[in-house]
Amino acid sequence: MTDRIWRRTDDPVFRILTAVVAVAALAGIGASLQTPAPRTSFAGQIAAFSEAGGEFDTDNLISNEGSYLDVMTDLDQRGVRGGAYIGVGPDQNFSYIARVRPSIAFIVDIRRDNLLLHLLFKAMFQQAHTRIEYLALLFGRPVPADLDSWRASPVSRLAEYVNQSRADAKSLDGLRARLEGVLKKVGVPLSPEDLTTIDRFHRRFVEDGLRLQFRSTGRLPQPYYPTYEDLLTATDREGKQGHYLASEEAFQFVKSMEDRDRIIPIVGNLSGPSALVAIGRSMAAKGETLSAFYASNVEFYLQRQGSYERFVGNLSRLPHTSRSVIIRSVFNRGMGGSSSELDSVEQLLARFAVTR
């Protein structure tokens, strides 16, 4: 099932279409840079950049990092802006994207389920025009009648609406039919099992509501795992809200990225043989440099598996500058909870070279 996503690159018709697009671009023919990329480009990049997936013992529908906003002020002070963003995991990436404002973003995760989750998010963004509509659709609540009146509302009011509303089975059936129609137009080959998985993810959002938490296989959520509401209403170290749904302007930026196919979910291992390498080549060809790389706590697992050196090698092949940073999360196994921090990519590479 996992190999269906990249099989299209072997299709002769796909190769011809790709060549035609490349020639047209070199000749200056076709749409301007402001024109949204064709749908085949979105699916084609997923196919071209993805590598063999793997397993991880979490559903990871939301983050378990209550500290994820702690780095926001540091991002601003370091001038981390624009460029290419790379991240792992679910929608905490959108909050970083809303702050960094990259021109393109790649979400690289070893689990193909994360790709399917991001396709669900993409379909939601396509259906929603405002953040209250997006939140209502994601959690299967009725969409308020007067959407414009919600544009300036604090995020606490949005949370209150979701908490006080109830899902309607009939409207949910209609929503799921619309979402499936959107997903089929995205261009990524999806099996019946894939669609069932996406529907299962959506049902978790609907059933758990804003109480939704990160889950690990065979283990109950830890007491320090934040709920979706905790993440939604969280503040940074300066006491400022930073979730991408905390302001209409932030939501609209992320939506514009999704609508233009500029947030591309990839199946890949950060220490794998091809995913990050292919992304780096694409960035170099387009003159893009890395702005922020959100690695969560993946480095911990790579070190434990003995594959951290391969990750550093992949990282070094991404075009970067003195402002390029890694956003990482560190979990205190004894105390519980996480802390988030920034590290300079150049300094990390230099330290690794010295300690080898």
Residue given tokens 């979402």 in the structure block: 179
Q: Which two tokens stand for residue 131?
A: 């953040």
Highest-scoring range by mean pLDDT, 5-9, 28-32, 184-188: 184-188
> For the chain, how big is the Rg over CA atoms in Å?
20
Residue 168, pLDDT score: 84
Average pLDDT of the chain is: 87
Residues 24-68 pLDDT 10s: 333 333 333 334 434 348 999 999 999 998 876 677 899 999 999
pTM: 0.86
Domain borders along the chain are 2-355
One-letter amino acid identity for 244? Y
C-alpha span between 122 and 126 (Å, rounded):
6
State residue 105 phi and psi, 5-degree precision: -140, 140
C-alpha span between 83 and 97 (Å, rounded):
11
Q: Is the pLDDT of residue 247 over 80?
A: yes
Residue 222, pLDDT score: 78
Residues 253-286 pLDDT 10s: 999 999 999 999 999 999 999 999 999 999 999 9
